[in-house]
Chain A
Amino acid sequence: MTEQTLSQPQKEQRPPMSRAAKANILFGVGVVVLIIVTALMQEVFLTERNMVNVARQMVTTGLLSIGMYVVIRSGGIDLSVGSTVAFAGLLAAGLQETMPVGAAIAIALSVGVVVGLINGVLIAYMRLQPFIVTLAMMGAVRGALFIYSETPTYATDKFFLKTLGAGKIFGVVPVTFAIFLACIPVVWFFMNHTRSGRSIMAIGMNPETVRLAGVNVRAQTTLAYVICGFFAALAGVLLAARLGISQPSVGVAYELDAIAAVVIGGGILGGGGGTVGGMFGGVIALALIDNVLNLFNVQSYYQQIVKGVIILIAVLLRRKPDS
């Protein structure tokens, strides 16, 4: 039921703040309160070492969330990112024995692109459901990895371990975190200021309208999955560099954290909501909560409960009012 604005002049009035904006502010306030309370109670919290730790730990979820954000905005979902993380990590760590590290990384990243391409083609061209396609991909890739190598693979390259994995810019900012930070404006620009990005956003809201406006909807949808695969592979490479080791079991259930971050940031499964900034906020919130709970020595089982509750609160806050 639509309610038409009657001939009431309301030029002077600012439109009322949207529910999403209110929820964002509430969330921001919540995070700040959390930081203040923790800082007061735990001296370790605001130390450089702990902050560096938080920054490092949010890189994987952060990069996965970037890709997940693009896919969710297109109206889809990608459950295969956790498996791609392991795949790319294994390749980057394993191949550096036999080739220059740059080439190993390039191959690892292109594997993410290929996985995304397969997902995208199956979803956009074969018209299969994203949930099912990426669920199958998640299982298939994971299985293949265990066949390929049951044992951990150790990275040996100095650049890979020291500079990429453990390096710090100006002695403070971890390189991996800097890379993640650099990706945020790139994705923001892509989604908001390129034809592809605007098309992907619109596809998530009504693909048929977009098709009839002359956009190649299949290609753009595929592109969303390719981007997601790429960022998952990047996350895998950086994780292998930080840990110095990669094994086929890495990254299990990581897709869920990424989805959670996007949803906390206002994303709506099925498309039509959420901003890059919101997603970034979601990543930070999740990382802080993890760290705080660790500092208070909360058992990991309780941590999961807390995270679950926070996701539900996020969704409840953004719930559309009953019409």
Chain B
Amino acid sequence: MQQISLIKVAKSFGATLALREASFTAYRGEVVAICGENGAGKSTLMSILAGSRMPTLGHIEINGKTVLITSPHDAFDRGIRTVYQELSLLPDLSVAENLFLGELPVNGWGRIDWATLWADAGTEMVALGMPEIDVRRPAGDYPVAVQQMFEIAKAIRNKPELLILDEPTGVLTQRETDLLFAKIAELKAAGTIIFYISHRMEEVLEISDRVVVLKDGRSVDEAPADMMTHDRIIQSMVGRPLEKIYPPRVRDHGPVRMSVQGLRAPGVHDVSFDLKAGEILGFCGLVGSGRSEVMRAIFGADPRQGGDVVIDGVPLNAPTPKRAMAAGLGFVTEERKVDGLALDADVLDNAGLASMSRISRGPVLNRRAQRDMVFRQVQKLDLRPLELSYILRRMSGGNQQKVILAKWLLMQGLKVLILDEPTRGVDIATKVEIYRLIADLAAQGMGILLISSEMPEILGLAHRLCVMNSGRIVAEMVPEETNEHEIFVAAATVERPAA
């Protein structure tokens, strides 16, 4: 493939225009980064190139000739390979079978030639820089990061003409990311065109030759990577200059709202802290440091092994989610699709789930009162579409998150709100709205526990922050007096065994 061009490609789903006008060209051996917010049309664009969808308007040219990529099979035959964000491995099959699925080597009798399979798969893993992998073991035995590398290995096995990588590093650790980047350089030298989709600006600027920015389904900005800057990409993505993202910090704290003493749970060792009324307390730490586990243990989502939690003077021991709620706790969980939402239910049922007792007489629910109450709340949060019967699965991440926030804000007697990654997978405009909301809630006297993997978020919002490492709070800091580096050092330093 010498070059591939998208010419005014558009795609609509019913009345929804997912892609309006995407035009750009990529040349042999080039890495083109595609940036854009959620909903900007990246996924749609990718699915058109991968053959799973046909463009409504516009067309694609390969080497100057108009082509129709009619099916995923067709895309495959043209040498187009895609690595999706979601894993598509069969966890119970061996690594080798996953790599060669559909093309398993067979002998003359049609029997699978296992020896060849193991050897070939082993070679692939060595070529990727992971010789330690036992290709005969089930793929599911390996951590997610390694599984993602299997996906990549599968895609690049036959040296594709065009490789599409959708957020490939989302789950990778530094080591695998380095291996991936080395492989990308190798493929590039061999002439493969690579479309690299990512949220991570640093990565995009490091790996790509050119950056294309999508906004509202249009390609709005394009430049060689060395002429692009972090700010320019964001500005093009959002479509307006970056004003103040974080609301002003107001430290007007009341008395202690929640006190946690000596909390112990699986992955949590002796955690103690106080949270004042009106305070936003941030929790930093690497994945697996115990941040989420602390919150789940406080709320009673997972059992505790010890420790005391007191909210407004009332102890909350032997907690269940029900008791925690009665004590005034709300909990926005880390993975909204796993345990935050019923994706096939509508806005009303999702947002009304934690407040049914407020509008019930005995066991009977007043559906009209529920409708009114939920509507007012989601209207306040500027939900779009503002439609109570809308099914959550069809909403964007930002709007799904608003529905979850509405659910907890409607809870009776909310005193402390736990927010675990409240802006993950949320577009920038909604992020800003959520930041405002958090600040407003604190200003009204609520206590906020905020977990985020995005350090700027914690540094911009929190009044105080705790750094967790191996299940313990290892440092307490004031955001204005610290920086990402200092936090990272505290979070990543390996603890010496206690003397």
Most A CB within 10 A of own CB, among B15, B301, B353: B353
Stretch at the interface among B389-397, B437-445, B447-455: B389-397
Closest A residue by C-beta to B11: A3
Q: Is the CB of B354 within 8 A of A214?
A: yes
CA distance A8 to B365 in the complex (A): 36
Q: Is the CB of A2 within 8 A of B395?
A: yes
Given known pairs A201-B345, A202-B345, the reply for A211 and B16 (CB within 8 Å) is: no
Cβ-based interface call for B206 (8 A): no
Q: Is the CB of B357 within 8 A of A7?
A: no
Q: For chains A and B in complex, what number of residue pairs have CB atoms within 8 angstroms?
A: 116
CA distance A117 to B223 in the complex (A): 67
Cβ-based interface call for B39 (8 A): yes
Cβ-based interface call for B143 (8 A): no
Given known pairs A202-B353, A212-B333, the reply for A6 and B38 (CB within 8 Å) is: no
* B43 → chain A closest CB, angstroms: 5
Cβ-based interface call for A210 (8 A): yes
Q: How many residues of B contact A (CB 8 A)?
A: 54
Q: Which chain B residues lie closer than 8 Å to A99 at the CB level? A: none
- Contact string, A8-36, partner B, CB cutoff 8 A, digits 1/0? 10100101100000000000000000000
Closest B residue by C-beta to A216: B322
Stretch at the interface among B57-65, B247-255, B334-342: B334-342
Q: Which chain A residues lie closer than 8 Å to B343 at the CB level? A: 205-206
Closest B residue by C-beta to A272: B344
Cβ-based interface call for B279 (8 A): no
Q: Give A78-119 interface residues, CB cut-off 8 Å to B.
A: none
Q: Is the CB of B363 within 8 A of A196?
A: yes
Q: Which chain B residues lie closer than 8 Å to A211 at the CB level? A: 301, 321
Cβ-based interface call for B367 (8 A): yes
Q: Give A190-215 interface residues, CB cut-off 8 Å to B.
A: 192-199, 201-202, 205-206, 208-215
CA distance A193 to B367 in the complex (A): 6
8 Å CB contact of B387 from A4, A15, A194, A196: A15
Most B CB within 10 A of own CB, among A4, A13, A208: A4
8 Å CB contact of B341 from A2, A209, A215, A272: A209
* A165 → chain B closest CB, angstroms: 33
* A138 → chain B closest CB, angstroms: 29
Cβ-based interface call for A1 (8 A): yes
Interface secondary structure of B, over-half rule: mixed
Q: Which chain B residues lie closer than 8 Å to A299 at the CB level? A: none
8 Å CB contact of B18 from A6, A13, A16, A216: A6
Q: Is the CB of A212 within 8 A of B301?
A: yes
Q: Is the CB of B367 within 8 A of A192?
A: yes
Closest B residue by C-beta to A271: B344
Cβ-based interface call for B180 (8 A): no
Q: Is the CB of A8 within 8 A of B43?
A: no
Q: Which chain B residues lie closer than 8 Å to A213 at the CB level? A: 321, 325, 353-354, 407
Cβ-based interface call for A5 (8 A): yes
Cβ-based interface call for B349 (8 A): yes
Q: Is the CB of A1 within 8 A of B47?
A: yes
CA distance A272 to B320 in the complex (A): 26
Q: Which chain B residues lie closer than 8 Å to A212 at the CB level? A: 299, 301, 321, 331, 333, 339-340
Closest B residue by C-beta to A273: B344
Q: Is the CB of A6 within 8 A of B322?
A: no
Q: Is the CB of A210 within 8 A of B363?
A: no
Instruction: Provide 10 A-B residue pairs closer than 8 Å at the C-beta atoms, listed in order of the A residue.
Output: A2-B38, A2-B43, A3-B13, A3-B44, A5-B396, A198-B349, A198-B356, A211-B321, A212-B340, A214-B324
Those 8 A-B pairs whose CB atoms lie nearest each other, nearest first? A4-B39, A205-B342, A208-B339, A4-B396, A214-B322, A214-B325, A206-B342, A213-B353
Which residues of chain B have a CB within 8 Å of any CB of chain A?
13-18, 20, 38-39, 43-44, 47, 216-217, 299, 301, 320-322, 324-326, 331, 333, 338-345, 349-350, 352-354, 356-357, 360, 363-365, 367, 384-385, 387, 389, 393-397, 407
Given contacts A198-B352, A198-B356, A272-B342, 9 further A-B contacts (CB under 8 A): A3-B13, A3-B39, A6-B216, A8-B16, A195-B357, A195-B360, A210-B353, A212-B301, A214-B325
Which residues of chain A have a CB within 8 Å of any CB of chain B?
1-8, 10, 13, 15-16, 192-199, 201-202, 205-206, 208-216, 272-273
